[in-house]
Amino acid sequence: MVVQVGDKGLTWTTLMDVIPDNSSAQDSVQLAERFIQDWVKEQLVIRKAEESLSEEKKDFDELIENYRKSLLTYAFEKEWVNQKLDTNISNEEIETYYRDNEQNFELRNYIVKVKFSALSTNHKKQLPQLKKLFYSVKEEDYAKWEQMCVDLGASYYFNEDKWLLWDEFIKQVPIQTMDVEDFLKRNKNVEFEKDNNLYLISITDYQLSGSRSPLSFEREKIKSMIINRRRLHLLETMKNDLYQKALQDNEVKTYYGK
């Protein structure tokens, strides 16, 4: 026994379990002393609570039982869903869900499709060539632009299918504007210099806050919604099946309405 408070004792085995094997002698002593002190304080608080609280306030049987039931239910439902849930979702399902619930997909932010480069001002001489490749629509020039960015250590981004939230975009490109809507309507290509970087920006598409959110932006969200709906349906079906089977097997006895 290491230390005792009333009829509660801390054993050497318990103490040694909390001290890492690779601890130095000094660290082991400090860890042991801290653990012993915390353990003693905890026991003293528990003893004080036992002495001070009424029997009614110390009765946690119902609370513990309810918590146990919640844990059992959660564990069972999680396992059931893992075994039964179909997570394959077709494009047709996604499109149908979007079409049937269009009123729920309103943008609360501006979103953009963009292409940009951020080139250090140390490479100003290479800027004309980079700009030529950046604004080119030729597929082979896109690969050249990307390689040039890599060679010069420039930041770059382009994904023609991906929407970005405006707030996320300006974390990468320091555009400053008081009126985002006006900026988007007036600007397609933007060039500026800031913090020793030369920025080339091409806004290929945008959607305004308050407008209907495009399906491509909501696709992953809709997948999650469909899966959650399936999950709820699966659980409800399981509960109803258990209920009906219990009735058929006379496992449920009712004593009302007779």
**12-53 residue pLDDT tens:** 889 888 888 888 888 888 988 999 999 899 989 888 888 888
Dist. CA 175–CA 190, nearest whole Å: 9
Question: For 228-253, how does the pLDDT look when each residue is reduced to its tens digit (9 = 90+)?
Answer: 999 999 999 999 999 899 889 888 77
Q: What is the pLDDT of residues 151-204, one digit of tens each?
A: 999 999 999 899 999 999 999 999 999 999 999 999 999 999 999 999 999 999
Q: Report the pLDDT value the prediction gives residue 157, as an integer from 0 to 100.
A: 95
Residue 255 predicted with pLDDT over 80: no
The rounded mean pLDDT for the chain is 91
Distance CA 191, CA 135 (A): 12
Q: What is the mean pLDDT of residues 92-114?
A: 94
Over 80: is that where the pLDDT of 258 sits? no
Q: Which pLDDT score, from 0 to 100, does residue 86 have?
A: 94
**For residue 256, what pLDDT is reported?**
65
pLDDT at position 20:
85
pLDDT of residue 23: 82
Q: Is the pTM of this model over 0.75?
A: no
Residue 70 has pLDDT above 90, yes or no: yes
Task: Specify whether the CB–CB gap between 181 and 110 falls below 8 A.
Answer: yes
Given this model, what pLDDT does residue 24 score? Answer: 87
Cα diameter, the chain: 94
